[in-house]
Amino acid sequence: MCESWIKKHPRDEKSEPLIAELARLSRLEYDRRRKKEAKKLGIQLTTLDREVVELRAQNAAEKDFLPHWNVEPWPEPVDGATLLDALRRHLTRYVVLPAHADIALSLWALNTWVFESFDIAPYLSITSPTRRCGKTVLMTLLYWLCCRGKKSDNMSKPAIYRSVDAERPTLVLDEVGWVVDLKDERQGILCGGFERNGFVEVCEGEGTAITTRLFSTYCPKAFGLIGQLTATLTDRSIVIPMQRKMPTEKAERLRRRDSDEHAQLRRQCLRWANDNAKALEQAAPPALACLNDRACDLWEPLFAIADASGGKWPESARAAALALSGAGANEDDTRGIELLADVKKAFAACGLAELPTKVLIAALCADPERPWTAYAKGEQITDRQLAKLLRPFGIVSVTVHPPNAPDAKGYRRADFEEAWGRYL
**What integer pLDDT is reported at residue 136 of this predicted model?**
93
Write out the chain's pLDDT in tens, 424 residues. 333 433 444 445 667 888 888 888 877 778 889 899 888 888 888 888 888 877 876 666 555 468 899 999 999 999 999 999 999 999 999 999 999 999 999 999 999 999 999 999 999 999 988 888 999 999 999 999 999 999 987 888 999 999 998 889 999 998 888 888 888 889 889 999 999 999 999 888 777 778 888 899 999 999 999 888 888 899 999 999 998 888 889 999 999 899 999 999 999 999 999 999 999 999 999 988 888 899 999 999 999 999 999 999 999 999 999 999 986 555 444 678 889 999 999 999 999 999 999 999 999 999 988 989 988 878 999 999 999 899 888 899 999 998 888 999 999 999 999 989 887 7
**What integer pLDDT is reported at residue 65 of this predicted model?**
60
**What integer pLDDT is reported at residue 331 of this predicted model?**
46
Dihedral angle computed from the Cα positions of residues 306, 312, 315 and 318, in that order, rounded to the nearest 10 degrees: -50
Helices in 247-334 by DSSP H: which ranges?
260-281, 293-309, 313-325
**What integer pLDDT is reported at residue 14 of this predicted model?**
64
**What integer pLDDT is reported at residue 362 of this predicted model?**
95
pTM of the prediction?
0.70
Residue 149 sits at the vertex; the CA angle it makes with 62 and 146, to the nearest 5 degrees, is: 115
**CA–CA distance, 123 with 128 (Å, rounded to integer):** 16
As separate numbers, helices (DSSP H) first and strands (DSSP E) second, the chain gives 17, 10
**CA–CA distance, 424 with 183 (Å, rounded to integer):** 29
